[in-house]
Amino acid sequence: MPTVQVTDLKDGDFLLDVREDDEWQAGHAEGALHIPISEFVARYGELTEAAPQDGRVHVICRSGGRSAQVTMYLVQQGIDAVNVDGGMHHWEQTGRTVVTDDGKPGFVL
């Protein structure tokens, strides 16, 4: 499965967060698109509208398991998608910003 490290991500890379609502509300990467894995198939169109046409989709969850499932699904659909290894736990550990919906500091649940 295609995988990247958190440290490989650059500002402006398209990030899809597939964690559930309570996890997202506790804290997320600023600018990420949030579609919970439990709603992903039904909301797939939101991703295709938001994702860059010829760009890569970086899929993230808490630790990498759920995002791996979504990444494999996207690859099967012909989308250039990669799993972010270590997920939001690694995101936070590497010092990347985690925010709430109102822009205040958040945390990874």
Rounded (to 5) percent helix, strand, coil in the chain? 35, 20, 45
What is the phi/psi pair of residue 67, to 5°?
A: -65, -30
Residues of the chain with pLDDT under 70: none
Among candidate residues 6, 51, 61, 84, the one labeled active-site is 61
Among this protein's residues, is 3 annotated catalytic?
Answer: no
Can you give the pLDDT at residue 1? 86
Alpha carbon dihedral 81, 59, 42, 103, in 10-degree steps, equals: -140
Q: pTM for the full model?
A: 0.96
Can you give the pLDDT at residue 79? 95
